């Protein structure tokens, strides 16, 4: 694996999941493959799980880590070609990224969408300028449209816990006080489509995700109907793709114990952070069906599997 930008960098998602199983069975089986190497983690946005799990994953492989919080600790970057830099941005990505890669052997980058200009966000300007200017592999730590480290984790978590060959997996929209990216949901849909699960996405009418990621999935707009018989319930808010970035208020879409009762005692998943009693009710998150903490733990093994594949490729 050269970069980890999207599912397209993975030859076979299921064999990648096998590698995550191997790591989870023995996380410290290979503590020298990354010796002398440095992972740079560049954050344009907040992070808890991604930062900590990817750092720990690197340590388990013998790497060191440098974290840069661009928005608070570094110079403001310019991305536009030919920009006359007489405003806020201090440094162009054309210098900044090659310089970063002269100190690092792998670079991870997180950059959320602005949620104002759909074309701009869906062109993935920040992520692509990192890939273009980096002289080392790049890992997507959640970009404007995708979050593949989360999705690999999610697929692994379902494979680890499924009780039937083809579980019914439902991705349901849920309310949120802010406009959020579509990235987690887009990416989850993209990875689910590579499986033979019975996969449904349910959202209020008008909040459909972009077809490029959901084509082939069952798409519903009646939540209760979609929840019937679900084995896994993936709960997530996203803002509108069609009325780009708009937040919609549908308080009746919160996942409560009454909704959970409609499922086949579904395992409840969420990428976290989660707004309790808005997205998911307390008794569901605190209840026996919730696997959100175990799911987050699996971020470590997924990140470690990805780093290991990239390190192995560098040894060639």
Binding site for ligand SN0 (CB under 6 A): 178, 180-181, 183-184, 271, 273, 275
* Residue 169 tokens, joined: 């997996």
Q: How far is the CB of 110 from ligand SN0 (least distance, A)?
A: 9
Q: How far is the CB of 180 from ligand SN0 (least distance, A)?
A: 4
Question: Looking at the DSSP assignment, which residues form a beta bridge with residue 276?
Answer: 280
Spatial CA neighbour of 306 closest among 171, 177, 182, 147:
147
Q: How far is the CB of 271 from ligand SN0 (least distance, A)?
A: 5
Quote the strand ranges of the chain, DSSP E.
Answer: 38-43, 64-69, 77-78, 91-92, 106-110, 138-140, 168-173, 198-202, 218-220, 232-236, 267-269
Q: How far apart are CA 26 and CA 301, in angstroms?
A: 10
43 vs 130, beta carbon nearer ligand SN0: 43
The strand pair at 64-69 and 38-43 is best described as parallel
Spatial CA neighbour of 169 closest among 195, 203, 204, 142:
195
How many residues does the structure list for the chain?
316
111 vs 223, beta carbon nearer ligand SN0: 111
Q: How far apart are CA 114 and CA 111, in angstroms?
A: 9
133 vs 157, beta carbon nearer ligand SN0: 157
* Residue 139 tokens, joined: 């890992």
31 vs 277, beta carbon nearer ligand SN0: 277
Q: How far apart are CA 131 and CA 128, in angstroms?
A: 5
Q: How far apart are CA 244 and CA 247, in angstroms?
A: 9
Q: Which residue has the tokens 């201090």?
A: 90
133 vs 290, beta carbon nearer ligand SN0: 290
177 vs 206, beta carbon nearer ligand SN0: 177
Q: How far is the CB of 175 from ligand SN0 (least distance, A)?
A: 11
Q: How far is the CB of 148 from ligand SN0 (least distance, A)?
A: 12
111 vs 183, beta carbon nearer ligand SN0: 183
Q: How far is the CB of 84 from ligand SN0 (least distance, A)?
A: 32
Q: How far is the CB of 212 from ligand SN0 (least distance, A)?
A: 18
The answer to whether 257 and 281 are in contact (CB under 8 A) is: yes
């Amino acid at each position: 694996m050269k970069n980890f930008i999207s599912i397209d960098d993975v030859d076979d998602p299921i064999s990648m999941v096998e590698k995550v199983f191997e790591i989870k069975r023995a996380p410290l089986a290979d503590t020298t493959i990354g010796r002398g190497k440095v992972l740079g983690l560049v954050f344009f946005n907040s992070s808890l799980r991604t930062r900590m799990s990817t750092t720990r994953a690197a340590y388990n492989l013998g790497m060191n880590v440098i974290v840069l919080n661009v928005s608070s600790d570094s110079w403001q970057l310019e991305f536009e070609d030919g920009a006359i830099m007489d405003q806020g941005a201090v440094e162009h990505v054309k210098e900044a990224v090659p310089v970063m890669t002269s100190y690092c052997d792998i670079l991870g980058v997180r950059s959320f969408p602005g949620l104002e200009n759909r074309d701009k966000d869906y062109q993935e300007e920040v992520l692509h300028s990192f890939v273009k200017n980096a002289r080392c592999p790049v890992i997507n730590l959640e970009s404007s449209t995708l979050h593949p480290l989360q999705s690999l984790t999610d697929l692994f978590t379902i494979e680890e816990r499924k009780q039937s060959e083809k579980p019914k997996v439902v991705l349901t929209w849920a309310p949120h006080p802010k406009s959020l990216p579509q990235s987690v949901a887009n990416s989850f849909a993209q990875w689910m489509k590579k499986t033979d699960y019975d996969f449904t996405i349910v959202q209020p009418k008008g909040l459909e995700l972009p077809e490029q990621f959901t084509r082939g999935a069952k798409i519903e707009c009646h939540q209760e109907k979609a929840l019937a018989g679900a084995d896994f319930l993936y709960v997530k808010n996203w803002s509108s793709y069609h009325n780009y970035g708009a937040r919609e208020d549908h308080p009746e879409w919160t996942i409560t114990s009454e909704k959970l009762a409609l499922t086949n005692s579904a395992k409840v998943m969420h990428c976290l952070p989660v707004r309790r009693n808005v997205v998911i009710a307390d008794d569901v998150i605190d209840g026996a069906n919730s696997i959100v903490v175990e799911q987050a733990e699996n971020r470590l093994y997924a990140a470690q599997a990805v780093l290991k594949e990239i390190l192995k490729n560098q040894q060639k």
